[in-house]
Amino acid sequence: MSLSRLIGGFVRVQWRAYAAAGAMLAGVAVLTILVPRKIGMMIDRLAAHELSGSALLLEIGELLLIGALIYFLRVGWRLKLFAAAYQLGVELRTRFYRRLSLQGPGFYQKQRTGDLMALATNDIDAIEMAAGEAMLAGFDGSLSLLMVLGVMLLGVDWRLALIALLPFPLMGLAFWRISSHIHTASTDSLKRFSALNDHVQETLSGVRTLRALGLEQRSSAQFSDLAGHAAAASLTAQRWEAAYEPAVGLTLTAATGLTLGLGSYLVWNGELTIGALTSFSMYLGQLIWPMFAAGWVLSLIERGRAAFARLQPMLDEPLAIDDHGTLNQRVPGALELRDVGYAYSGQLEPALSSITLTLRPGQTLGLVGPTGSGKSTLLRLILRQLAPQHGALRWGGHGLDEYQLKTLRAAISWVPQESFLFSASIADNIALARPEASRAEVKRAARLAAIHDDILLFPQGYETEVGEKGITLSGGQRQRVAIARALLADNDLLLLDDALSAVDTGTETSILEHLEELRAQRPGRSAVIASHRLSAVVNADLIVVLHHGRIVEQGSHDALLALDGWYASQWRYQQLEASLDAL
Q: What angle do CA 218, 221, 223 make, to 5 degrees?
A: 110
Give the pLDDT confidence score for residue 550 in this predicted structure.
92
In angstroms, the CA 223 to CA 203 distance is 9
Average pLDDT over residues 60-79: 76
36-50, 179-193, 376-390, 398-412: least confidently modelled range:
36-50
Average pLDDT over residues 370-376: 88
Q: Which of 125, 177, 174 is nearest to 304 (CA)?
A: 125
**What is 288-303 written as a DSSP string?**
HHHHHHHHHHHHHHHH
Question: pTM above the 0.75 mark?
Answer: no
Task: Give yes or no for residue 288 having a pLDDT over 70.
Answer: no
Give the pLDDT confidence score for residue 272 in this predicted structure.
67
Average pLDDT over residues 264-280: 69
In angstroms, the CA 204 to CA 182 distance is 33
Distance from the Cα of residue 412 to its chain's centroid: 27
Average pLDDT over residues 151-177: 72
Question: Matching CATH topology for 323-411+491-583 and 419-489?
Answer: yes
Residue-range domain boundaries for the chain: 3-316, 323-411+491-583, 419-489
User: pLDDT for 192-241, tens place per residue?
Assistant: 887 887 777 777 777 777 777 777 788 788 878 888 888 888 888 778 77
Q: Which of 503, 508, 449 is nearest to 474 (CA)?
A: 503
Of the two residues 48 and 255, the one the predictor is more confident about is 255
Could you tell me if 80 and 21 are in contact, meaning their C-beta atoms sit under 8 angstroms apart? yes
Task: Give yes or no for residue 150 having a pLDDT over 80.
Answer: no
In angstroms, the CA 403 to CA 387 distance is 13
**What is 176-225 written as a DSSP string?**
HHHHHHHHHHHHHHHHHHHHHHHHHHHHHHTHHHHHHHT-HHHHHHHHHH
Mean pLDDT of the chain: 79
Looking at domain 419-489, its CATH class is: alpha beta
Average pLDDT over residues 284-290: 68
Give the pLDDT confidence score for residue 242 in this predicted structure.
76
Looking at domain 3-316, its CATH class is: mainly alpha
pLDDT bracket for residue 341 (50, 70, 90): very high
What interhelical angle do 15-47 and 135-150 show, nearest 10? 30
Classify domain 323-411+491-583 at the CATH topology level.
Rossmann fold (3.40.50)
β-strands 335-342, 364-368 pairing: unpaired
Length of the chain: 583
Question: 3-class DSSP state for residue 538?
Answer: coil
Task: Give yes or no for residue 131 having a pLDDT over 80.
Answer: no
Q: Which of 120, 47, 121, 132 is nearest to 81 (CA)?
A: 132
Give the pLDDT confidence score for residue 276 in this predicted structure.
65
Give the pLDDT confidence score for residue 367 in this predicted structure.
93
In angstroms, the CA 161 to CA 253 distance is 14
Task: Give yes or no for residue 169 having a pLDDT over 70.
Answer: yes
Of the two residues 288 and 69, the one the predictor is more confident about is 69
Average pLDDT over residues 573-578: 80
Task: Give yes or no for residue 280 having a pLDDT over 70.
Answer: no
Task: Give yes or no for residue 325 having a pLDDT over 60.
Answer: yes
